[in-house]
Structure 1
Amino acid sequence: MEPTGTEQHGLDATQAVARYGFDVVDLETLRYGLIEVARDMHETLMRGGFSPIVRDVRDCTACIHMRTDEGWQMISSWEGCVQHAFTSPHIVNFTMSEWDESTLRDGDVIMVNDPWRGAIHCSDINVLRPVIIDGRAEFVLHTTSHVADLGGPIPGGFANGTRTSFEEQLKFPPTLLYAEGVPVRPAFNHLLENNRVPHLVLGDVRALSGSLQVGALRLEDVVERYGLDKVKAGGNYGMDMTEAAMRAGIARVPDGDYKVTDFLDDDSLTPEPIELVMTVKVRGDSMEIDYSGTSRQPDGNVGTAWIESTRAIIGAKFILDPSSPVNSGTLRPVEAIMPPGSAVCVLPPSSCSNHVDTGSRVVNMMTQAMAEALSERAIACDSGTAGMINISGIDTRTGREGTPWAAFSLPGGGWGGTWAGDGLSLCLVSMGNCRSSVQEHVERENPLIVWEHELMPDSAGVGENRGGAGAVYTIGAHSTTVVTVTGDRSRAGAPGVQGGGRGMPFYAWRLHDLGSSTGLDPLDQTNAEPLFGVFDSDGHPSPDDGEFGQGTAHQTGKIAQIVLQPGQGIRLVVGGGGGWGDPLERATAKVLLDVEDGVYSAAFVEKAFGVVIDGGTIDEDATRERRATMARDRDNGSWTVPSACSLDWTGLPRITVEASA
């Protein structure tokens, strides 16, 4: 059994008393008791949330921060969306350094969503409640969630096609939302009168503030029971234990500089790729993430404020220290260098509403750097895009005529294959750790029908351990519907490691005459108008032999304001994760099981794995001969591991258009 806690990091009971002044049993109790308070806040938020973004998708997080000599530090968290926990300490420090603490009263709640004050993007509302003990704020409770809308040109907040923050949503500096528990009417009026779905936003904001009330009551009870000094000692102990675990993980990485380069497809305005450069420098038990060499800040909205570095740490945490709780101790061994005015540190007033593509990519890059450093435990990249779809309009259904609505879906892709096994299928990108919407809720609350949300066949990167399969997500409109699609990796899928293949790239189609008998086969393009992707001259997806944008309506996977009329729909395909290892070494029994489960087709596994299936069984002799031939062809350069993509497309695209910017 793995040692944990004080035993793992060499701190015995006597040392605990000497360092923190209290018994290790109380310190451990408080360490996890503070996590339970954060968990109660998070569960309260999810139960009280009005929008599916909170209650279904879990795009929300709860944290507790403590005053220390080094500033405000996060002593516990409970995340739905893991990236929020890594940005939370910065938000609290910015806000509390700017606020006049002498004016704080019990029950005050402060709201902020400014990316240059630590928020991820304006769509995430952060609410903070100081906990005042003996006349001084000793703790700050923080909950955050994405909200359905905050104004701007595009519902939902991913303002593809914008250049500046002035064109985007409302941006709040630290703003008093509740004064001694009483709503501040001007703040609420400004918030609710400048968005399309105020009923959803009001419900979610009340849930956010209500979760703080629960957290305050629980934390005050803990302080009353144990005393402030002991609670603060427990907070410090918890951060120190997490720091020790993170440092122990980093120390297992050989010292060195591990450089990775990757590209975003585009910035939604211009076709040029955006280069991202990361050099991970490991020395002893510390790590530096250097983004020097990254492209200048883009014209479009994919650049991110300086907090992007925190998302790269997620990749290191998953690999090096997956089990310890996330708090400020996680961040202590890691430093970051971000050139101002680069794609990972845009300067105001640049647009940075689409943080997801850069955020996903830097986590992938950290995974690639660790694959170089720890080859025996390499992990291939996940799909590298969330394939988000924001949907909104005015309801025309009987009894709901004229009601504005908004929905937010994350179809999910696949995680990469690993040294230990196959990647997970139908998962969201790892920086989020969120869930997809509950489809019954989507259909009940909005004039939509979800025709399919399932595994996309032949989308998983091949390897001895394959990547996870990606998703096909098809919705149809009952009312006129405005759609924003936000995604990347539409030119090439997630890369594999150790000889594994790429996952399928990101694709989208507009569907015409959508019904129960048409348009539901993801490989049938009869009713499909290609929006973006890599297609061959016949209009079929072909990531290795096709051309990006050939015969498509758009030259980017980041599109705003697609209008669907009733009876039309949209289909997204989010690719799978990259593969791990030589696909010619994958056990034939596993390949057969993949075919039986619908992960791969028989035609594709013969091409990619060299496995010949005849009548539902493996022809072992033919397989050995084919694999030997493929291995020789690979050695002489006439065969390479193919990207994941079906070979069985049927029908021609219903509409082929001239490619446009």
Structure 2
Amino acid sequence: MNEVLTSPKSVTVDPVTVAVVQGALENIAVEMGYRLMRMSYSSIIRESEDFGAGLVDAEGRGLAESAQSTPLQSGPIPGYIKGINRIMAERGETVRPGDVIMHNDAYSGASHGPDVAFMVPVFHGDRLVAWAGTTAHHLDIGALTPGSCGIVNAIDAYAEGLQFKAIKVYDEGRKVMPVWNILRDNIRVSDLVVGDMEAQIAAARIGAKRFEELIDRYGIETLEAACTGAMDHAERLMRGAIAALPDGDYAATTYIDGFLDSDDPGRKELPITVTLRVRGEEIEVDLTGTARQVDDAPINMPLVGTADIAIWLTIRSVLLDTAVHGHIPVNEGLTRPIRIVAPEGCLANPIFPAPTIARFCPGNQLADTVMKALAQAAPEQVSGGIGNLKVIAFSGLNHGKHWVHMEIFEGSYGGRYGRDGMDAVDTLYANTRNNPIEDIETHLPLRVSRYELREDVAGAGKWRGGLGSIRSFEYLGDGAASVEGEGHGFAPWGFRGGAVGKPAELCLHGVAGAARELPSKVPHMPIAAGERFECLGPAGGGYGNPLERSPEAVLEDVLDELISRETALADYGVVVSETLDLDLAATEKARGERC
């Protein structure tokens, strides 16, 4: 295995050079991301931006990540490298120039199996100095049913698809054809998936080339010293933000649906518990009290790659909001003051081979729980409870060939100090985009028959929660689907007197018009031509007393048809006349009667 060395001599670098190098690293990561988007075949990467790109040093310390990618993809890249380093050391294998390593082991840094990474090493002479890597969510990974989301009935890690543990797909520049043959022979829609993988490699190679150019420009000693300086600067920023919080213990619990239609209480309505212990410039995040892992259902969250990213992202976003602090360098330094405690065998630290492929929504709920705990220490820096997400894996056969489409149904944010919650967006660590209707209907046997905001359900507050969306998908031919979601059983929490939000709903409308309500998780099932999914997105929780909301803001929501006149009166004590005029005298009286 390659020896990881530090710079041969101590070099002092001024702050300007540190900032310039950090900016250059970030630009490299962004270029990698855009190249991957433009070269990809599938809409999950090209349109949804469910990918990551980043630079990591030889030890696995994150240096920079692509700003336009999702935190759940870029954030785990350092963990991938640490897992690769460990596995290759155990095997006695060596990384050489020209190698490309494929990795998706959920228990060695990867977020889950469908998020496959391709890592390209960067050498200076004979010394491994860094890695350039890309990750992406792939449409299929060879699991028991089509697609790579919506697989909610895998009994263990082996049922979730192909596992790649630090596998060379290029060996000193030579393509390892047996590996590529395995990929093509064992993955549905392999043309799309393998095409996306080749795009990942090309983007990672660009990143490695650009890093080598930085070495040529600055010299390896100066470059490494600047990277160390950038990490130290990020650490100081995080420590300063933590020090501004009052010392104390702050605990919160939320719940995930699990499998609401199950008769087993160990598979549904499961708690996620977070205790934040703030001491000076450091935070301990203790997940004791979180439900134990579900041994035979894939809603468990890998500690490294999912749970840690949910925690780091939430703390970073709340305490170092860029709207307040400006640009924040995202590297390993931000995580140094944060310690995570997660009991082995709980949902957020499962034991192999517990399945993890459906960890997406539970992980987002963990992020929401961290924010709920932080709300006690930083009440004006958080939002009310978020409306969680849903993914439907649409699939079918067309003349013997599979088609697969992954659609992420957006959630919503809760109200926040001074602002209403954001409507119909992916939340917290997800940050992906929805697919344009034109793209869906051009490439797939699906028709989007409805897409609009879900009105009259936002959590009431001085600043109301965000609205979810309503989206309907009709099958133009026989096919199938599976569903992975959250937030049907529990409403997003309100804060400081704000009302709770509205849970999500999902219906399957038959050809004859009959509707069947579905839970948040649905195993693979056949769908007939003409049948239609209707997804009602969740509404975020409210922030602050609804009776303190500006009557003019309530009227504006009525005029925009976001809430009804009846809701304006019932939730806010605001009287809007039949001619849609604001009656301030009647409003003052209505509110006075409730005080």
Asked if TM exceeds 0.5, the reply is yes
Q: Secondary structure at the match of 1:486?
A: strand
1:303 matched to 2:300: yes
Q: Which residue, out of 117, 123, 127, partners 1:126?
A: 117
For the 8 Å contact 2:73–2:115, the answer to whether it is kept is: no
Q: Which residue number in structure 2 is paired with residue 293 of structure 1?
A: 289
Q: Secondary structure at the match of 2:416?
A: coil
TM normalised by structure 1 equals: 0.83
Alignment of 1:566-645 (within 5 A): 566-614=529-577, 615-629=579-593, 631-632=594-595
Counterpart residue identity of residue 152, structure 1: A
Q: Secondary structure at the match of 2:409?
A: coil
Counterparts of 1:617 and 1:331 in 2: how far apart (Å)? Answer: 52
For the 8 Å contact 1:411–1:472, the answer to whether it is kept is: no
Q: Which residue, out of 215, 222, 227, partners 2:219?
A: 227
Q: Which residue number in structure 2 is paired with residue 94 of structure 1?
A: 83
1:81 matched to 2:70: yes
1:415 matched to 2:413: yes
Gaps of 5+ in 1: 1-17, 396-400, 515-526, 533-555, 633-661
Counterparts of 2:499 and 2:38 in 1: how far apart (Å)? Answer: 41
Q: Which residue number in structure 2 is paired with residue 503 of structure 1?
A: 501
Alignment of 1:443-458 (within 5 A): 443-458=441-456
Q: Secondary structure at the match of 1:391?
A: strand
Aligned-residue Cα RMSD (Å) equals 1.8
Give the deviation of 1:623 after TM superposition: 2.2
Q: Secondary structure at the match of 1:103?
A: coil
1:138 matched to 2:129: yes
Q: Deviations over 1:539-570 (max 9, x none)?
A: xxxxxxxxxxxxxxxxx311022322111110
For the 8 Å contact 1:508–1:571, the answer to whether it is kept is: yes
Q: Which residue number in structure 2 is paired with residue 430 of structure 1?
A: 428
For the 8 Å contact 2:87–2:165, the answer to whether it is kept is: no
Counterparts of 1:276 and 1:430 in 2: how far apart (Å)? Answer: 16
Q: Secondary structure at the match of 1:594?
A: helix
Q: Which residue number in structure 1 is paired with residue 5 of structure 2?
A: none
Label 1:420 to 1:404 Cα distance change in 2 as closer, same or farther (>3 A): same
Q: Which residue number in structure 1 is paired with residue 272 of structure 2?
A: 276
Label 1:368 to 1:20 Cα distance change in 2 as closer, same or farther (>3 A): farther
Q: Secondary structure at the match of 1:117?
A: coil
Alignment of 1:324-339 (within 5 A): 324-339=328-343
For the 8 Å contact 1:394–1:479, the answer to whether it is kept is: no
Give the deviation of 1:267 after TM superposition: 4.0
For the 8 Å contact 2:50–2:70, the answer to whether it is kept is: yes
Counterparts of 1:530 and 1:312 in 2: how far apart (Å)? Answer: 36
Q: Which residue, out of 384, 388, 391, partners 1:380?
A: 384
1:242 matched to 2:234: yes
For the 8 Å contact 1:303–1:354, the answer to whether it is kept is: yes
Q: Secondary structure at the match of 1:373?
A: coil
1:442 matched to 2:431: no
For the 8 Å contact 2:383–2:413, the answer to whether it is kept is: no
1:349 matched to 2:342: no
Alignment of 1:461-500 (within 5 A): 461-500=459-498
Gaps of 5+ in 2: 1-8, 323-327
For the 8 Å contact 1:289–1:309, the answer to whether it is kept is: no
Q: Which residue number in structure 1 is paired with residue 517 of structure 2?
A: 531
Q: Secondary structure at the match of 1:453?
A: strand
How many residue pairs match? The answer is: 570
Give the deviation of 1:612 after TM superposition: 2.2
For the 8 Å contact 2:318–2:382, the answer to whether it is kept is: no
Give the deviation of 1:123 after TM superposition: 0.9
Give the deviation of 1:102 after TM superposition: 6.5
TM normalised by structure 2 equals: 0.92
Counterparts of 1:20 and 1:258 in 2: how far apart (Å)? Answer: 42
For the 8 Å contact 2:255–2:490, the answer to whether it is kept is: no
Give the deviation of 1:19 after TM superposition: 8.6
Counterparts of 1:459 and 1:48 in 2: how far apart (Å)? Answer: 40
Counterparts of 1:250 and 1:438 in 2: how far apart (Å)? Answer: 40
Counterparts of 1:163 and 1:274 in 2: how far apart (Å)? Answer: 18
Identity %: 28
For the 8 Å contact 1:267–1:274, the answer to whether it is kept is: no
Alignment of 1:5-84 (within 5 A): 20-67=11-58, 71-79=59-67, 80-84=69-73
Q: Deviations over 1:66-121 (max 9, x none)?
A: 13xxx321111114111233322121011023225873222211011111001111
Label 1:617 to 1:562 Cα distance change in 2 as closer, same or farther (>3 A): farther
Counterpart residue identity of residue 230, structure 2: G
For the 8 Å contact 2:380–2:416, the answer to whether it is kept is: no
Q: Secondary structure at the match of 2:152?
A: coil
Q: Which residue number in structure 2 is paired with residue 318 of structure 1?
A: 317
Give the deviation of 1:578 after TM superposition: 0.9
Q: Deviations over 1:370-395 (max 9, x none)?
A: 11112244421211x21111111123
Label 1:253 to 1:19 Cα distance change in 2 as closer, same or farther (>3 A): farther
Label 1:374 to 1:27 Cα distance change in 2 as closer, same or farther (>3 A): closer
Give the deviation of 1:459 after TM superposition: 3.0
Counterpart residue identity of residue 145, structure 2: I
Give the deviation of 1:528 after TM superposition: 5.0
My pick for the range that moved more, 244-253 or 303-312, is: 303-312
Counterparts of 2:35 and 2:505 in 1: how far apart (Å)? Answer: 37
Counterparts of 2:120 and 2:221 in 1: how far apart (Å)? Answer: 21
Q: Deviations over 1:398-423 (max 9, x none)?
A: xxx44421111112121111112111
Q: Secondary structure at the match of 1:347?
A: coil
Counterpart residue identity of residue 617, structure 1: D
